[in-house]
Structure 1
Amino acid sequence: MNNVFGRMQPVFEWITNLAALNITWLVFNLPIAYLSLLLVLVEHTSQILMIILTIVVFSPFLLFPATTAMFGVVRKWFMKEEIKIVQSFWKFYKENYKRSLFGGFFLSFLWLVGVVDFLYIKSDVSFVNFIVLFILAFLFLYTLYFFSDTVHTESKLTQSLKNVLIITIANPIFSFGIVVICIIVLYVSISYLPFLIILFTGPIIAILGFYGYQKVFTTILNVQK
C-alpha cells in the first residue's frame, strides 16, 4: 500500500501544482474572468462586441502580465527547478509587467481586429471562413510563443516580436499540432468539463505553448550553429 501511495505522490503533486497555478492566474484576472463568463451568456452581437472591447482594454493591464507570470512558472518546471508557485508567480509578474503591458497593447489590438472580422465578415463561402479561422489560430499560436519568448529570452520587445514571428512560422506542421491540441483542451473545458477552467486549463495550455516554443527555438539555434 505504501508503495502504491509512493508512486502516486508525484501525480498528486502535479495536480496540486497545476491547480495552485491556475487559481493564482485566475485571481489576477478576476475582472476578465467575469467578463468572459458574461460573454458566454449574452446573445446579441452588440453586447458581445461591448464585452470584447472591455476585455481588450483590460487585457494589457491584467491578462498579459498574469499570463506571462504563469509561463514563467511553467518554464521553471521545464528546467526542473523547485519553486514556490505563488511567490514565483508574483516575482515574474513584477519583473515582466512593463514588457507584458506594451506587448499586450500590440497583441490586444490584433486580437480585436481578428475577432471583429470573425463576427462581421462571416461568409457562406467556406473558404473565407477558413481563412479567418486560420488567421485567428495563427494569432493564438503567436501569442503563446510571445509569452514563452518573454520569459525565456532577454531581447527587447520589438526584437522579441520579430523573433516570435519567425519561430511561429519556422515549423508550421508541428506548431499547427500544438494549436489543435490547445483548441481541443479549450473546447472540452468550456463545453464538457468547466471545472477544468478553474483548476487546470491555463497551465495545461501554457505547458503546451512553452513546449512548442522551446522545441522550435532549440531547433533554430541548432541550425544556426
Structure 2
Amino acid sequence: MQTNGLMGKFYVVCEWIMKLAFVNLLWLGFSLVGLIVLGIMPATVALFTIVRKWLMKETDIPIFRTFFQTFKKEFSNANKIGLLMAVIGFFLYFDFTYLKMIGGSVQFALSIPLCIITILYIITFLYLFPVYVHFEIKMFQYIKNSFYIGILNLHLTALIIAGIVLLSFFFRFLPGILPFYSMILVAIIVMWGAGQAFRRIEAKQKKHNVQREIIH
C-alpha cells in the first residue's frame, strides 16, 4: 500500500500503533510463560532487541519470530544477570529497612551513602538492557559498562528519567492502555537515550584513534 498522502500516513500510524501493542502483549505473555520470575528478564531483553532494531531502521523484521528466538536464546544469561541485580536490590532494601529500625544520628549518617549507592544502582539498571542488546561482552561487563555509560552521560540519564516520569503521568490519566503500551514506550525512551550515549562514546573512540594515528 502506498504511504503518500493523508490516508497513507494514517495507515502507517495505525500500523505502528498495532505493532507497539503487539510487542507489549508479547512481553506480558512471555513474562507469564516464565512465571514472571524467570520470564521477565528474557522477555525484556527480547523487547529491547526489537526496539533497538526499529531505531536502527530495521522496521520490517518478523516481530514474533525475533521475539521468540531472542527469548529462547537469552533465557539463561538474562536470568543470571537478573538474579545478580535482584540480590543487590534485596541487600539495598534490607539496608534501608534496617536503618529505619536504628533511627537517630546513625540513621542519618548511613542514609546518605546508601541513597547514593541506590541512585547508582538505578542508573546501572536503567542502561542494563540497552547495553545487553547492543554489545556482546561478559556478564559482569554488562553491569560495569551500564554503570560507566550512565555516569558519563548524566544529561542523557536525566532525560531518560524525565521521559519515564512524564510517561507515568500519562498512564495515570489513561490506565486502560497499560497492558498495551506500558513497557514498549518505556523501552523506546530508554533505548533512544542509550543509543545517543553509545554514539557519543563511539565518536570519542574514533576521534581518539585518529589522534593516535596522527601522533604515530
C-alpha separation in 1, matches of 2:111 and 2:177: 29
Aligned-residue RMSD, C-alpha: 2.9
The residue that corresponds to 2:149 in the other structure is: 167
Task: Choose the corresponding residue for 1:74, options 22, 47, 51.
Answer: 51
Deviations 1:78-118 (A, max 9, x none): 12111121111111111222221111011112233344556
Deviations 1:129-153 (A, max 9, x none): 8987765554344223111111111
TM-score by length of structure 2 reads: 0.78
| Contact 1:141–1:175 (Cα < 8 Å) also in 2 | yes
What is aligned with 1:99? Answer: 77
Is the contact made by 2:120 and 2:147 (CA closer than 8 Å) also made in structure 1? no
Shift of 1:214: 1.2
Distance in 2, matches of 1:121 and 1:159, equals: 31
> Structure 1 residues 21, 134: CA separation in 2 closer, same or farther (over 3 Å shift)?
farther
Gap runs ≥5 in structure 2: 207-216
The structure-2 alpha-carbon separation of the partners of 1:16 and 1:126, relative to structure 1 and needing over 3 Å to count, comes to: farther
Post-superposition offset of 1:161? 1.6
Of stretches 179-188 and 163-172 in structure 1, the one that deviates more from structure 2 is: 179-188
Secondary structure at the aligned position of 1:200 is classed as: helix
1:1-225 alignment, distance < 5 Å: 3-30=5-32, 58=37, 61-81=38-58, 82-116=60-94, 121=99, 136=118, 138-189=120-171, 191-225=172-206
Residue identity matched to 1:155: I
Q: 1:197 to 1:218 in 2, by over 3 A?
A: same
The Cα shift of 1:126 comes to: 10
Amino acid at match of 2:158: F
CA distance in 1, matches of 2:28, 2:12: 24
Q: Is the 8 A contact 2:159 2:193 kept in 1?
A: no
Q: Which letter does structure 2 place at the counterpart of 1:217?
A: F
The one-letter amino acid of 1:212's match is G
Give distance in 1, aligned partners of 2:93 and 2:177: 24
Larger radius of gyration between Structure 1 and Structure 2: 2
CA contact (8 A) 2:128 2:142 kept: yes
Q: Which runs of 4+ in 1 moved over 4 A?
A: 115-123, 125-138
Give the structure-1-normalised TM-score: 0.75
| Distance change >3 Å, CA 197–CA 80, structure 1 → 2 | same
For residue 136 of structure 2, give the secondary structure of its aligned residue in structure 1: coil
- State the alpha-carbon separation in 1 of the partners of residues 121 and 22 from structure 2: 28
Tell me, in whole angstroms, the C-alpha distance in 2 between the residues paired with 1:163 and 1:193: 35
State the identity as a percent: 30
